Amino acid sequence: MDPAALAECLKTTSCVVTQVTSGLIIGMLLFLVAAGLTLIFGVLKVVNFTHGSFYMLGAYLALSVYKVSDSFSLAVVCAGAGVALFGLVFERLFMSRVYGSNVLMQLLVCYAFILILDDAVKLIWGAEFRSMGMPAAFQRPPILLAGGVVPAFYLFLIAIALAIGAILWLVITRTRIGKKVRAAAHNPTMTSALGINTGLIYGAVFAAGGLLAGLAGALAAPVRSMAPGMGVSILIESFIVTVIGGMGSIGGALAGSLLIGLIRSFGSIGFPLFTEGIMFLFMAMVLVIKPSGLFGKDV
Protein backbone atom coordinates (compact mmCIF):
# COMPACT_ATOMS: atom_id res chain seq x y z
CA MET A 1 0.00 0.00 0.00
CA ASP A 2 1.43 3.36 -0.96
CA PRO A 3 -1.28 6.02 -0.69
CA ALA A 4 1.40 8.69 -0.26
CA ALA A 5 2.77 7.93 -3.73
CA LEU A 6 -0.75 8.09 -5.12
CA ALA A 7 -1.41 11.45 -3.48
CA GLU A 8 1.93 12.68 -4.81
CA CYS A 9 0.96 11.59 -8.31
CA LEU A 10 -2.45 13.25 -8.18
CA LYS A 11 -0.77 16.56 -7.35
CA THR A 12 1.38 16.60 -10.49
CA THR A 13 -0.18 17.23 -13.93
CA SER A 14 2.40 15.12 -15.73
CA CYS A 15 1.63 12.08 -13.59
CA VAL A 16 -2.12 12.56 -13.93
CA VAL A 17 -1.84 12.88 -17.72
CA THR A 18 0.35 9.76 -18.03
CA GLN A 19 -1.81 7.66 -15.73
CA VAL A 20 -5.14 8.81 -17.22
CA THR A 21 -4.00 8.03 -20.77
CA SER A 22 -2.59 4.73 -19.58
CA GLY A 23 -5.96 3.97 -17.99
CA LEU A 24 -7.67 4.98 -21.24
CA ILE A 25 -5.57 2.65 -23.35
CA ILE A 26 -6.10 -0.31 -21.03
CA GLY A 27 -9.79 0.55 -20.94
CA MET A 28 -10.40 1.09 -24.66
CA LEU A 29 -8.87 -2.21 -25.77
CA LEU A 30 -10.85 -3.94 -23.07
CA PHE A 31 -13.99 -2.10 -24.22
CA LEU A 32 -13.71 -3.51 -27.75
CA VAL A 33 -13.64 -7.06 -26.40
CA ALA A 34 -16.26 -6.51 -23.70
CA ALA A 35 -18.62 -4.70 -26.09
CA GLY A 36 -18.77 -7.79 -28.29
CA LEU A 37 -19.37 -10.02 -25.30
CA THR A 38 -22.14 -7.83 -23.89
CA LEU A 39 -23.77 -7.43 -27.33
CA ILE A 40 -24.00 -11.18 -27.76
CA PHE A 41 -25.44 -11.59 -24.29
CA GLY A 42 -27.86 -8.69 -24.69
CA VAL A 43 -29.40 -10.05 -27.88
CA LEU A 44 -28.97 -13.80 -27.58
CA LYS A 45 -28.96 -14.20 -23.79
CA VAL A 46 -25.94 -16.43 -24.30
CA VAL A 47 -22.62 -16.05 -22.47
CA ASN A 48 -20.00 -16.53 -25.17
CA PHE A 49 -17.08 -18.12 -23.34
CA THR A 50 -15.27 -18.48 -26.65
CA HIS A 51 -14.93 -14.70 -26.84
CA GLY A 52 -11.34 -14.71 -25.57
CA SER A 53 -10.46 -17.15 -28.37
CA PHE A 54 -11.95 -14.69 -30.91
CA TYR A 55 -9.45 -12.15 -29.58
CA MET A 56 -6.64 -14.70 -29.96
CA LEU A 57 -7.66 -15.53 -33.54
CA GLY A 58 -7.70 -11.82 -34.41
CA ALA A 59 -4.15 -11.43 -33.12
CA TYR A 60 -2.80 -14.42 -35.07
CA LEU A 61 -4.62 -13.53 -38.30
CA ALA A 62 -3.18 -10.01 -38.07
CA LEU A 63 0.31 -11.49 -37.54
CA SER A 64 0.10 -13.62 -40.69
CA VAL A 65 -1.38 -10.90 -42.92
CA TYR A 66 1.19 -8.38 -41.66
CA LYS A 67 4.01 -10.82 -42.39
CA VAL A 68 3.04 -11.15 -46.05
CA SER A 69 1.74 -7.66 -46.77
CA ASP A 70 3.75 -5.43 -44.40
CA SER A 71 0.56 -3.36 -44.04
CA PHE A 72 -0.85 -2.93 -40.52
CA SER A 73 -4.19 -1.52 -41.73
CA LEU A 74 -4.72 -4.47 -44.06
CA ALA A 75 -3.80 -6.83 -41.22
CA VAL A 76 -6.37 -5.24 -38.90
CA VAL A 77 -9.15 -5.26 -41.50
CA CYS A 78 -8.49 -8.88 -42.51
CA ALA A 79 -8.31 -9.99 -38.89
CA GLY A 80 -11.63 -8.36 -38.08
CA ALA A 81 -13.29 -9.78 -41.18
CA GLY A 82 -11.82 -13.24 -40.58
CA VAL A 83 -13.00 -13.50 -37.01
CA ALA A 84 -16.41 -12.04 -37.97
CA LEU A 85 -16.78 -14.83 -40.52
CA PHE A 86 -15.70 -17.39 -37.94
CA GLY A 87 -18.20 -15.97 -35.45
CA LEU A 88 -20.99 -16.29 -38.02
CA VAL A 89 -20.11 -19.90 -38.85
CA PHE A 90 -19.66 -20.77 -35.16
CA GLU A 91 -23.09 -19.39 -34.33
CA ARG A 92 -24.96 -20.90 -37.25
CA LEU A 93 -23.42 -24.38 -37.01
CA PHE A 94 -22.96 -24.85 -33.27
CA MET A 95 -24.38 -22.25 -30.89
CA SER A 96 -27.77 -22.10 -32.59
CA ARG A 97 -28.27 -25.75 -31.66
CA VAL A 98 -27.98 -25.10 -27.94
CA TYR A 99 -29.99 -21.90 -27.45
CA GLY A 100 -32.87 -23.73 -25.84
CA SER A 101 -30.65 -26.03 -23.79
CA ASN A 102 -29.30 -25.84 -20.30
CA VAL A 103 -26.65 -23.14 -19.83
CA LEU A 104 -24.19 -25.91 -18.95
CA MET A 105 -24.54 -27.27 -22.48
CA GLN A 106 -23.78 -23.83 -23.92
CA LEU A 107 -20.77 -23.60 -21.62
CA LEU A 108 -19.56 -27.00 -22.78
CA VAL A 109 -19.82 -26.06 -26.45
CA CYS A 110 -17.88 -22.84 -25.82
CA TYR A 111 -15.24 -24.56 -23.70
CA ALA A 112 -14.85 -27.27 -26.34
CA PHE A 113 -14.10 -24.56 -28.88
CA ILE A 114 -11.62 -22.86 -26.58
CA LEU A 115 -9.66 -26.12 -26.55
CA ILE A 116 -10.12 -26.73 -30.27
CA LEU A 117 -9.00 -23.22 -31.19
CA ASP A 118 -5.99 -23.34 -28.83
CA ASP A 119 -4.83 -26.56 -30.49
CA ALA A 120 -5.58 -25.27 -34.00
CA VAL A 121 -3.48 -22.17 -33.32
CA LYS A 122 -0.71 -24.40 -31.96
CA LEU A 123 -0.80 -26.56 -35.10
CA ILE A 124 -0.79 -23.65 -37.51
CA TRP A 125 1.48 -21.13 -35.79
CA GLY A 126 3.42 -23.34 -33.38
CA ALA A 127 3.46 -23.69 -29.60
CA GLU A 128 6.12 -21.03 -29.05
CA PHE A 129 5.09 -17.39 -28.47
CA ARG A 130 5.10 -15.05 -31.49
CA SER A 131 5.55 -11.31 -31.76
CA MET A 132 4.39 -8.93 -34.49
CA GLY A 133 6.52 -5.88 -33.77
CA MET A 134 5.61 -2.22 -34.13
CA PRO A 135 4.76 -1.04 -37.67
CA ALA A 136 7.27 1.49 -38.98
CA ALA A 137 4.72 4.31 -38.97
CA PHE A 138 4.50 4.18 -35.18
CA GLN A 139 8.16 3.75 -34.41
CA ARG A 140 8.58 7.22 -33.01
CA PRO A 141 9.30 8.72 -29.59
CA PRO A 142 6.29 9.23 -27.33
CA ILE A 143 4.34 12.47 -27.33
CA LEU A 144 4.77 14.77 -24.35
CA LEU A 145 1.41 16.09 -23.21
CA ALA A 146 1.62 18.60 -20.37
CA GLY A 147 4.69 16.77 -19.14
CA GLY A 148 2.99 13.41 -19.31
CA VAL A 149 4.24 10.64 -21.60
CA VAL A 150 1.82 9.29 -24.20
CA PRO A 151 2.92 6.85 -26.93
CA ALA A 152 1.73 7.84 -30.41
CA PHE A 153 0.53 4.30 -31.07
CA TYR A 154 -1.70 4.36 -28.00
CA LEU A 155 -3.28 7.68 -29.00
CA PHE A 156 -4.08 6.08 -32.34
CA LEU A 157 -5.58 3.03 -30.61
CA ILE A 158 -7.72 5.14 -28.29
CA ALA A 159 -9.03 7.11 -31.27
CA ILE A 160 -9.78 3.98 -33.31
CA ALA A 161 -11.52 2.27 -30.40
CA LEU A 162 -13.65 5.35 -29.72
CA ALA A 163 -14.54 5.53 -33.42
CA ILE A 164 -15.51 1.86 -33.50
CA GLY A 165 -17.57 2.34 -30.35
CA ALA A 166 -19.33 5.33 -31.89
CA ILE A 167 -20.07 3.43 -35.11
CA LEU A 168 -21.42 0.52 -33.08
CA TRP A 169 -23.70 2.85 -31.10
CA LEU A 170 -24.92 4.55 -34.28
CA VAL A 171 -25.68 1.24 -35.97
CA ILE A 172 -27.61 -0.09 -32.98
CA THR A 173 -29.62 3.07 -32.29
CA ARG A 174 -29.96 4.81 -35.67
CA THR A 175 -30.21 2.16 -38.36
CA ARG A 176 -32.89 -0.28 -39.43
CA ILE A 177 -30.69 -3.27 -38.84
CA GLY A 178 -30.01 -1.92 -35.37
CA LYS A 179 -33.73 -1.63 -34.75
CA LYS A 180 -34.23 -5.23 -35.83
CA VAL A 181 -31.44 -6.36 -33.52
CA ARG A 182 -32.97 -4.50 -30.59
CA ALA A 183 -36.37 -5.94 -31.44
CA ALA A 184 -34.97 -9.47 -31.59
CA ALA A 185 -33.32 -8.88 -28.22
CA HIS A 186 -36.51 -7.58 -26.68
CA ASN A 187 -38.98 -10.08 -28.08
CA PRO A 188 -37.63 -12.74 -30.44
CA THR A 189 -40.99 -14.47 -30.93
CA MET A 190 -42.78 -11.31 -32.01
CA THR A 191 -39.87 -10.24 -34.17
CA SER A 192 -39.89 -13.55 -35.96
CA ALA A 193 -43.67 -13.44 -36.30
CA LEU A 194 -43.27 -10.10 -38.10
CA GLY A 195 -41.34 -11.91 -40.80
CA ILE A 196 -37.85 -10.89 -39.73
CA ASN A 197 -35.28 -13.62 -40.12
CA THR A 198 -34.12 -13.90 -36.51
CA GLY A 199 -31.61 -16.64 -37.41
CA LEU A 200 -29.79 -14.17 -39.64
CA ILE A 201 -29.94 -11.52 -36.94
CA TYR A 202 -28.38 -13.89 -34.44
CA GLY A 203 -25.63 -14.82 -36.88
CA ALA A 204 -24.99 -11.14 -37.58
CA VAL A 205 -24.73 -10.38 -33.86
CA PHE A 206 -22.19 -13.14 -33.34
CA ALA A 207 -20.32 -11.89 -36.38
CA ALA A 208 -20.32 -8.37 -34.92
CA GLY A 209 -19.02 -9.70 -31.60
CA GLY A 210 -16.32 -11.62 -33.43
CA LEU A 211 -15.45 -8.52 -35.46
CA LEU A 212 -14.98 -6.45 -32.31
CA ALA A 213 -12.88 -9.05 -30.51
CA GLY A 214 -10.84 -9.76 -33.64
CA LEU A 215 -10.16 -6.06 -34.17
CA ALA A 216 -9.04 -5.74 -30.55
CA GLY A 217 -6.65 -8.68 -30.96
CA ALA A 218 -5.21 -7.23 -34.15
CA LEU A 219 -4.87 -3.69 -32.78
CA ALA A 220 -3.04 -4.94 -29.68
CA ALA A 221 -0.77 -7.31 -31.64
CA PRO A 222 2.13 -4.87 -32.16
CA VAL A 223 2.74 -4.64 -28.42
CA ARG A 224 1.53 -7.93 -27.00
CA SER A 225 3.22 -11.28 -27.69
CA MET A 226 0.82 -14.06 -28.60
CA ALA A 227 0.71 -17.71 -27.59
CA PRO A 228 -1.94 -20.46 -27.71
CA GLY A 229 -4.25 -19.98 -24.76
CA MET A 230 -3.83 -16.20 -24.57
CA GLY A 231 -7.61 -15.69 -24.70
CA VAL A 232 -8.23 -16.68 -21.08
CA SER A 233 -6.97 -13.55 -19.32
CA ILE A 234 -8.85 -11.25 -21.72
CA LEU A 235 -12.01 -13.29 -21.23
CA ILE A 236 -11.89 -12.99 -17.45
CA GLU A 237 -11.32 -9.23 -17.58
CA SER A 238 -14.18 -8.76 -20.08
CA PHE A 239 -16.45 -10.63 -17.70
CA ILE A 240 -15.53 -8.30 -14.86
CA VAL A 241 -16.28 -5.35 -17.15
CA THR A 242 -19.64 -6.69 -18.29
CA VAL A 243 -20.68 -7.56 -14.74
CA ILE A 244 -19.77 -4.06 -13.54
CA GLY A 245 -21.26 -2.29 -16.55
CA GLY A 246 -24.30 -4.47 -16.90
CA MET A 247 -24.75 -7.45 -19.19
CA GLY A 248 -26.29 -6.28 -22.44
CA SER A 249 -25.36 -2.62 -22.10
CA ILE A 250 -22.71 -1.26 -24.45
CA GLY A 251 -22.60 2.03 -22.59
CA GLY A 252 -22.08 -0.02 -19.45
CA ALA A 253 -19.21 -1.87 -21.12
CA LEU A 254 -17.56 1.47 -21.91
CA ALA A 255 -18.02 2.74 -18.36
CA GLY A 256 -16.83 -0.55 -16.88
CA SER A 257 -13.73 -0.75 -19.08
CA LEU A 258 -12.67 2.80 -18.36
CA LEU A 259 -13.19 2.21 -14.66
CA ILE A 260 -11.05 -0.95 -14.78
CA GLY A 261 -8.39 0.88 -16.78
CA LEU A 262 -8.19 3.73 -14.28
CA ILE A 263 -8.21 1.35 -11.29
CA ARG A 264 -5.28 -0.51 -12.82
CA SER A 265 -3.25 2.54 -13.75
CA PHE A 266 -3.71 4.50 -10.53
CA GLY A 267 -3.91 1.36 -8.43
CA SER A 268 -0.49 0.32 -9.65
CA ILE A 269 0.93 3.41 -7.92
CA GLY A 270 -1.21 3.49 -4.82
CA PHE A 271 -1.90 -0.19 -4.21
CA PRO A 272 0.65 -2.08 -6.32
CA LEU A 273 0.24 -5.44 -4.63
CA PHE A 274 -3.54 -5.28 -4.53
CA THR A 275 -4.58 -3.88 -7.93
CA GLU A 276 -6.29 -7.11 -9.03
CA GLY A 277 -7.92 -7.36 -5.64
CA ILE A 278 -9.39 -3.87 -5.96
CA MET A 279 -10.85 -4.74 -9.35
CA PHE A 280 -12.62 -7.79 -7.94
CA LEU A 281 -13.63 -5.89 -4.79
CA PHE A 282 -15.26 -3.25 -6.96
CA MET A 283 -17.07 -5.91 -8.95
CA ALA A 284 -18.30 -7.50 -5.73
CA MET A 285 -19.57 -4.12 -4.47
CA VAL A 286 -21.50 -3.52 -7.69
CA LEU A 287 -23.01 -7.00 -7.45
CA VAL A 288 -24.16 -6.31 -3.92
CA ILE A 289 -25.54 -2.80 -4.51
CA LYS A 290 -26.85 -3.19 -8.07
CA PRO A 291 -26.75 -6.84 -9.20
CA SER A 292 -27.72 -6.01 -12.76
CA GLY A 293 -24.67 -3.78 -13.13
CA LEU A 294 -24.26 0.01 -13.25
CA PHE A 295 -26.17 0.40 -16.52
CA GLY A 296 -27.93 -2.93 -16.63
CA LYS A 297 -31.65 -3.37 -16.71
CA ASP A 298 -33.11 -4.57 -13.43
CA VAL A 299 -34.33 -8.13 -13.77
List of residues contacting other proteins (CB under 8 A): 9, 15, 18-19, 22-23, 25-26, 29, 122, 127-134, 138-139, 141-142, 149, 151-154, 220, 222-230, 233-234, 264-265, 267-269, 272-273, 275-276
Give the long-range contacts of residues 255-259, CB within 8 A, separation 24 or more. 255/294, 255/295, 256/34, 256/293, 256/294, 257/27, 257/28, 257/30, 257/31, 257/34, 258/23, 258/24, 258/27, 258/28, 258/31, 259/27
Q: From the CB of 190, what's the least distance to other proteins, in Å?
A: 42
Question: Between 202 and 239, whose beta carbon lies closer to other proteins?
Answer: 239
CB 231 within 8 Å of CB 52: yes
Question: Between 253 and 269, whose beta carbon lies closer to other proteins?
Answer: 269
Q: From the CB of 117, what's the least distance to other proteins, in Å?
A: 15
Question: Between 149 and 294, whose beta carbon lies closer to other proteins?
Answer: 149
Q: From the CB of 298, what's the least distance to other proteins, in Å?
A: 33
From the list 43, 61, 45, the residue with the least C-alpha distance to 53 is 61
Question: Between 201 and 220, whose beta carbon lies closer to other proteins?
Answer: 220
Q: From the CB of 88, what's the least distance to other proteins, in Å?
A: 26
Question: Between 148 and 246, whose beta carbon lies closer to other proteins?
Answer: 148
Q: Using alpha carbons, list the distances in angstroms from residue 250 to 1, 41, 205, 260, 282.
A: 33, 11, 13, 15, 19
Q: From the CB of 143, what's the least distance to other proteins, in Å?
A: 10
CB 52 within 8 Å of CB 113: no
Question: Between 20 and 247, whose beta carbon lies closer to other proteins?
Answer: 20
Q: From the CB of 14, what's the least distance to other proteins, in Å?
A: 9
From the list 108, 106, 113, the residue with the least C-alpha distance to 90 is 113
Instruction: Render 126-168 in DSSP notation, one character per residue.
Output: -SS-B-----GGG-SPPEEETTEEE-HHHHHHHHHHHHHHHHH
Distance, in Å, from the CA atom of 270 to the CA atom of 1, rounded to the nearest integer, reads 6
The 3-state DSSP class for residue 81 equals: helix
Question: Between 154 and 295, whose beta carbon lies closer to other proteins?
Answer: 154
Q: From the CB of 109, what's the least distance to other proteins, in Å?
A: 23
Q: From the CB of 263, what's the least distance to other proteins, in Å?
A: 9
- For residue 260, what is the enclosing H or E element? helix 250-270
Distance, in Å, from the CA atom of 150 to the CA atom of 13, rounded to the nearest integer, reads 13
Residue 145 sits at φ, ψ, to 5 deg, of -115, 105
Question: Between 197 and 225, whose beta carbon lies closer to other proteins?
Answer: 225
